[in-house]
Amino acid sequence: SSNKTTREDKLLKICELLEEHVDYYNWVGFYFKNGDKNELKLGPYVGEPTDHTIIPFGKGICGQVAVSNKNFVVPNVAAQDNYIACSITVKAEIVIPIFKNGENIGQIDIDSNTPDPFTKADEEFLEFVCEKVSTIL
């Protein structure tokens, strides 16, 4: 099997583990910068399929993290004007950037059906996950 397949398998496994072990993680996926384009491309994920497989930089929560290089915790998605809805069941979202050699190369995106579920501990845990993910990319 190719390295690409192995990498995708590992990323999918991480999504599965996160979704399975944290009750309020209901959609878990990766977006990565799409080559030289100013857009994100959906990678491995678990949860409802989404139409948003390509997201322009700046658009939605994910697109904003692509340009800010900062964590984005959204306690209430209904209060966001620059937000891309994937499912009407989603109440909250957290996006953590992934850095490789100091460059923002993608992100982990988690949607929750629970209002305001994410704490500083989620941010710190997911930053740790993203650092580990970076080492296999």
Interaction site with ligand SME (CB under 6 A): 27, 29, 50, 52, 55, 60-63, 83-84, 86, 93, 109, 111
CA dist 63 and 84 (Å) reads 10
Q: Which residue is nearest to ligand SME (CB)?
A: 60
Nearer to ligand SME, 29 or 43 (CB): 29
Nearer to ligand SME, 11 or 61 (CB): 61
Do residues 73 and 65 make contact, with C-beta atoms less than 8 angstroms apart? no
Give 16-55 as a DSSP string: HHHHHH-TT--EEEEEEE-TTSSEEEEEEEESS--S-SEE
Nearer to ligand SME, 3 or 88 (CB): 88
